[in-house]
Structure 1
Amino acid sequence: MKQFTDQELETLLNDIESDLVEKKQSLKGDVPKKTRQAICAFANDLPNHNQPGILFIGAKDDCTPSGEPITDELLRNLADMKTDGNILPLPVLFVEKRVLKGAEMAVVAVMPSDMPPVKYEGRIWIRTGPRRSIANAQEERILNEKRRYKTLPFDIYPVPSAKLTDLSKVIFENEYLPVAFASDVLEANNRSYEERMSSCKMIVSPDDTTPTVLGLLAIGKSPQDFLPGAYIQFLRIDGTELEDPVIDEEDIGGAIVEMLRRAEEKLKAHNRSAVDITSAPTHQIALTYPPAALQQILYNAVLHRTYESTNAPVRIYWFNDRIEINSPGGPYGNVTVENFGKPGITDYRNPNIGDVLKTFGFIQAFGRGIATARKEMEKNGNPALEFETNQSAVVCTLRGKQ
């Protein structure tokens, strides 16, 4: 995205009718909620400007500065709106402090999304002229059509050999929709089944009901029939080498929610606990591995793996002294072998799969999984996480508590 000059920003700031600009005096009260609505609306870009939408924090409606202090905390709060999981798919936005009209302002530039419709708290917000509102059925259809002409990530590619009947209508209507959309939106919804599926990116469009990769993974009856590598291979090895005896093994398939739940049950069953009766007044129960760390690394492995051009599964190899979790596909986008795992460095090979995991409650916020896992390992007294990365895989090693 190009860097706006001060003159260009002041010209936008002075345009009281533009649908590319919104002004807020501060970030207090209900303004954070309205700011997220505006980010959602700019990301949807219903008028098809193909230009960034700009939010000015610290500006009055009459285009003069409000005098609001632009602190580091305010800038962080704005930046966190990108990854806190309330706006899905994740928006692309840039936050900076600028001096305009002789006063400091926070400037948020929101890029149009390649994957509309974008939702905030289950509602699709749009902007036409100075008005911000929830999209009606026709406006939602326009956003769906826009998506067809963009460069799409692999997770919403169509799978030509699959049919609409390969997706579970029961799971979609009874499990996914109620958590993906606000209840009032569902109650007022007059969309057809195909339109709802298209809006959620489970199929290509209402007219082309070919399932997408996302649809098969999220609500597919048998995703592995079309994506052979989309499963988790679990091995419990009685020893420290691959050639040692295997005492438990399972190929865990199904749709992504079922797959993760079954994998978590398997990890829980093998995570032995010990009772400490000497180091504290009451007995303490210690697990070999902290469950939250296992969860976060498992979720990351399934979310960030490549599903394209590979039949390799996510592999969980549980040895006597360690667990190795192997995710096919190396670092992606802004994440490289050199900066992998560093705070604040994130990118998403499968952004729409991330939306599904957030919707189903497996992810609370984005970009914090590795940091959470590291913290939990330290709290539990385990050695630090180890990562081995290359262009074909990311392998995380969790070592048992001594």
Structure 2
Amino acid sequence: MNPLSDQELATLLEDLESDRIERKRAWAGDAAEKARQAVCAFANDLPNHGRPGVVFIGANDDGSVASIDVTDQLLLTLSDIKTDGKTVPPPTLTVERRVLKGAPVAIVTVWPADSPPVRYEGRIWIRIGPRRGLASAQDERILNEKRRYRDRAFDTHPIQGCPLSELNRTVFENEYLPQAVAGDVLAVNARSYEERLASMGMIASVDDPTPTVIGVLALGKTPRSWVPCAYVQFLRIRGTEWGDPVADEQELDGTLDLVLRRLDDKIKATLAVSVDFTSGSTTELRSIPYPLSALQQLTRNAVMHRSYEGTNAPVRVYWFDDRIEITNPGGPYGTVTAENFGRPGVSDYRNPSVATVLKAMGFVQRFGFGIAEARRSLAANGNPPLDFQVEPTVVLASVRKVP
């Protein structure tokens, strides 16, 4: 994923017929909408260039530069395209300021996705020559085949021996699809059940309707039968040390939606509110040992980023009297390292399809902001700073009780 040189960018900028570029004179009017559609199309890479597409901000349609002011705020706004949750799976892109033909230009470079099709607001955009368009059923089939043979993400691998009947068709058609696909697209959708499953990555392909890992995690009738590690172990420990008495123990399994909803219920039930009547005062002071939003962000992050491959270990939520330990069986991945773990703006996706499903189900609003939100809400509640222990195969998040 090497950046394009200034000469390569200048050559692309001047190629008026290229299907790998999008030019915008300024970030105004409908530029934001059109640029996001272009990012989606470049990520899908229907022509199979295997090369990045580029959105130029500060360039005219004739290939000349517009000499705009490329501010830090503009670059931050462009970076939000990756994390605002409107494009799923999250595209791989870089944003930078370059000087081309003597003038500053904002450059958004988008690499082809490993797990197409990519959707922007529930629609699959592709490049048809120098213009954008919505994918047809045949275009979707081509993108599905690209994913089938090129994908590196484990969550889209087919589960050999798993029958199509393992997937809950009623949940898929009545609950998942309306959340994941734009209403106008569904209204004119003449695709078969298998074509729709393949388009969403729930089966390997129309010709091979074997459920994938994400298909079973999202729609499976018995997910843990096929993905043994797909559960959360919850313990309420009366004490502060390992080996202290266990007051409550539960294994939460089922589809991703069911697991996270049951986990939310468990956290809310355990999150007792302490009440302190101040001596000599009629004022009731209420405090909570942990903010709910922080625990939700951290547990959902653990489910999203954990490794589902080569392990039978669950996500663990161990609730001690003085802290909560959330263990994620899966160390740093991709651009995330032990050194930069948790740093704002640094994120990668071991399970891009899991991330897509959690976004569609409403468990994720933005990508890459979970840890930052947890830290913010913990600080606002008066809790000690969030602590991470990052190892090659596991991440432990420790949340300390408010003093």
Provide the TM-score with structure 1 as the length reference: 0.97
Counterpart check, 1:380 vs 2:381: yes
Contact 1:161 1:226 in 2 (8 A): no
Partner of 1:288: 289
Counterpart check, 1:168 vs 2:161: no
Instruction: Count how many residue pairs are aligned between Structure 1 and Structure 2.
Output: 402
For 1:302, the aligned partner's letter is V
Q: How does 1:2-401 map to 2 (within 5 A)?
A: 2-276=2-276, 278=278, 283-401=284-402
Give the drift of 1:329: 1.8
For 2:369, the aligned partner's letter is R
For 2:235, the aligned partner's letter is L
SS where residue 81 of structure 1 aligns? helix
Give the drift of 1:16: 1.1
Contact 2:114 2:153 in 1 (8 A): no
In 2, distance between residues paired with 1:12 and 1:235?
A: 57
In 2, distance between residues paired with 1:129 and 1:281?
A: 72
Give the drift of 1:349: 1.1
SS where residue 42 of structure 1 aligns? helix
In 2, distance between residues paired with 1:373 and 1:3?
A: 33
In 1, distance between residues paired with 2:95 and 2:180?
A: 27
Stretch moving more, 386-395 or 204-213: 386-395
Give the drift of 1:274: 2.3
In 2, distance between residues paired with 1:401 and 1:2?
A: 45
Unpaired runs of 5+ residues, structure 2, are none
In 1, distance between residues paired with 2:227 and 2:27?
A: 45
For 1:64, the aligned partner's letter is S
Contact 1:239 1:319 in 2 (8 A): yes
In 1, distance between residues paired with 2:137 and 2:170?
A: 23
Moved over 3 A (4+): 275-284
For 2:98, the aligned partner's letter is R
Give the drift of 1:242: 2.6
Contact 1:273 1:285 in 2 (8 A): yes
Q: Deviations over 1:9-43 (max 9, x none)?
A: 22211111111111001111221111000000111
For 1:291, the aligned partner's letter is L
Give the drift of 1:282: 6.1
In 2, distance between residues paired with 1:2 and 1:265?
A: 45
Contact 2:88 2:118 in 1 (8 A): yes
Provide the TM-score with structure 2 as the length reference: 0.97
In 2, distance between residues paired with 1:174 and 1:117?
A: 21
Q: Deviations over 1:217-276 (max 9, x none)?
A: 111111000111110111111111232221111111000110010011011101111235
Give the drift of 1:278: 4.7
In 2, distance between residues paired with 1:380 and 1:251?
A: 29
Q: Deviations over 1:308-331 (max 9, x none)?
A: 111111111111111111111222
In 1, distance between residues paired with 2:169 and 2:282?
A: 54
SS where residue 149 of structure 1 aligns? helix
In 1, distance between residues paired with 2:219 and 2:10?
A: 48
Contact 1:123 1:181 in 2 (8 A): yes
Change (3 A) 1:64 1:286: same
For 1:221, the aligned partner's letter is K
SS where residue 82 of structure 1 aligns? helix
